[in-house]
Structure 1
Amino acid sequence: MTGGPVLWAAVAWAVFLGAHLALNGRWWLWLLPSLLPPPLFAAVPAALLVLAWAAGDGAAGAVAGGALLLGARQCGLVPGALVRRPARPPEEGTVRVVSWNTQHWCQSTDPDPFYAFLRELDADVYLLQEYHHDEFDGTYRLIDDERRLRATFPGHRAVIARGLITLSRLPVAATVETAARRTLRVDLELPGGRGRLATFNVHIPVQLRLISPLRAEFYRAVRTRAGDRAREYAGLARDVAGCPHPALIAGDFNTTAAIGDARHIARLGADAVPLTGRLCPTSWQPRPGLRWWRLDWVLTTPGARVHSYRFRDPRGLSDHSVQEVTVSLTGPGPRTPADTRLRPRLHSEGT
C-alpha cells in the first residue's frame, strides 16, 4: 500500500480499533488495551480526519471517518447530556443517595476530615465501597470502625458486609443474599408507604495489580481477575433480574465505556449519566490533567426514577468522585412471592 503518513496512521488506528472491537470482553488479555482513556476513541480519529483534510488525502479521511463512527460507542461521550433536563421531583418521596469508593476507608488520610466530609454530604442513603485496608500484596484487610460510624451517623442504620457499607436513614426492610460476591443488596422502605427500593451497592474487582508487567504474576493476576469480573457481572445480572422491587444499582464498576464489560452494565438498568449535564463525564482520578475515566455508575430499573445526578469533588480523600443522586419511585413497589428469598440481615447493623 502506498500513501502518506496520515494514511498509514489512520490504517494503524483502524487495525487497532478492529482488534479492540473483536477481542474486547472476549479475551482476558485485552483488558489491558481497553484501559486506554475512552475519549481517545474519538480524539484520535477526529485528529486524523483533520490532518487528512489538511493534507488533501481522501483515502486517509475515509479511513479516519470510518474509525470515528465505529469507535463512537467506546469513547464515553454522552451527547444526550447536553439536551436532557432533570425530571421535576415530586414534592415528597425523594431519597438522596450517595455512592462513593472511599479508597480503603481513610487508610492514607486523616479520619477526622474523612468523617466530616461524609457527614457534610448529608445523604439519606450512603452506598460506600472499600470498607477495608489495602495490604499492598493483592489482598485486603477488613476493618471495624462501627463505633465511630454509630457516633457520626446516629440516625442511620449500618449494614456491613464484604468490605461494603450501606448506611440508611430509611427503615431497612431486609438484606438479601446475592450471587455477586462483591455486591451488598439492602431493601429500604420509603416513607409514607410509597413502596420498597432495592439498593445494590456494587464493587467490581479491578483488572490488575500494580506490579511490574515484566513479571509473570502480573499476567496471572489479570487472567484471574478477568474470571472474577465475569462471575461478578453474571451474578449481578441474576440478582437484578430476580429483584421484585424497583432498584438502584450504584458503585465502583471499574469499567469504562471502552471496556467490554460495559455491555453487561447496559443490560442491568437505565444509566443516569445524561443527567450530569457533562458531555464527557469522569469519576476516577479527579485531579486536573487526569480526568479521563468514568469507573462509577448509577443505574435504575423500572419503577425507580433519578431526578438529579452529579459527581462531587472528594477533596483529596479518595481517587474516586462522589456520586450523588436523588431518586423516587414512580409507583408503589410490588409484594410478590419472590420476597420469600429475603434472608437475615448481614454482618452488622448499627442503630
Structure 2
Amino acid sequence: MQDNMRLSIFAEKKDKKLVYKPEKCIGCGTCVQACPKGNLSVGAVGAITRGLLDADFLEIKKSEECLVCGICAKVCPTGALELKQEGKSLTDMSYLFRAMKPTSVNENCVHCGLCEDICPRGCIEVTREISEDGHLKLVGKTHIDSDCCVHCGWCAAVCPVNAISVEKPFEGRWTKDENICQTCHTCVEVCPANAIFNKKAKSGERVEKISHRPDACIYCGACAVSCPVNAIDVRKTAILPDVEKKSVLEKKILEAPVPEALLRTYLETDENACLGCGNCVIVCPVNALNSHELAAGYLNDMDEKTLLEVKNGRISIVNQDCCGADGACALICPVDAIRLVKREVE
C-alpha cells in the first residue's frame, strides 16, 4: 500500500515538510484538535465516505501559517500525517501510530479465515491449503496490512485460538442523544471500526436508533465529526500506547470535543431534472430534526423547512449554511437533481 500511496505536501518550512496521506486518513479530526494554530480543517466526512464528493477528509487552511511542529502528526492514530526532513521521516516513539504495537498474529494461527472475513477495513489476507503431512489441518499464511489497520480488535475477538494481538490507540467515552439522532446512517458508514450499527427489530419491538459496540470502538471521533445534527459526542479519556512525552499530547486531545466540521460543500440543484417528489426534503436529517412530522413523510403539512423545500414542484434551498454535508438528499434523488459540490476552504 505504501508504494502506491498518494501524498500531499501540506506545509514546508526550511528543510521540513508536513505530508498528508489521504488513503490512511479516517476523518477523525484528532489532528485538528491538537493543532496549536487551528490551521487544519475536517469536514464533509459523510459525503466523501459515500463517494458523493471527490475530496480528502482533511485540508490545511493557510499553509504559510503552519509551524511544521508535527503535533498533528504525533496524535494521528493511523499515520495519515507525517513530518519529513530532507526526504526522511522524522517519526519516532513520540508519534502515536509509531508507538502503537502493530496488530500481529502468532504461530497458534490455524488460518481459518475468520479474521479476514470480519475485518472492517479489508486489511487481512489469509492464504491456506490442506496439509500434505497426513494431519487434518490447514497450512498457510495470515498477513495483516499495518498500513490500513485501525486497531479495532475485531480480528482478535473472533480468533478461535487467541492468535492475534491488538493494541488500541485510545480509551474514551461515546454518547448519543436519542432525541436528536435522525437515523441518517452517516455515522454507521463513516465508522472505520464497524463500531456503530442498526439493530434489527422484531415485530413490535422498539430499539434504539443506532447502537454502539464499545469493544470495537477506537474513540477516534469520526462519527461525531460526520453527524449532520451533532447527535454524537466522543471524548478521548486516555492514550493507551506507551508514547514518549505522552502528557504533551494528552493535554491537547483528552476530554476535548471533536472539532466542528467545516462546511466544505454547497448544494447544487437542477430544476429541469427535478420531479418535485420531495424525497430529499423528507430524508434530510437537518429538516427532520426541526420537524418529526416531516421525517414521517408529512411533506406538505409543514409551512417552513430548515434546509430544503419543494416549491412549485421544484426543489429549492432554504439555507445552505445549515447543511450537514451527509449527502442523504443526493443519495435518495432518483434523477440526480441535487448534489454536493466542493467549496474552497477559507
TM over 0.5: no
Q: Comparing both structures, which one devotes a greater share of its residues to helix? A: 1
- TM class, shorter-chain normalised? under 0.3
Pick 1 or 2: higher relative contact order, CA cutoff 8 A, min separation 6.
1
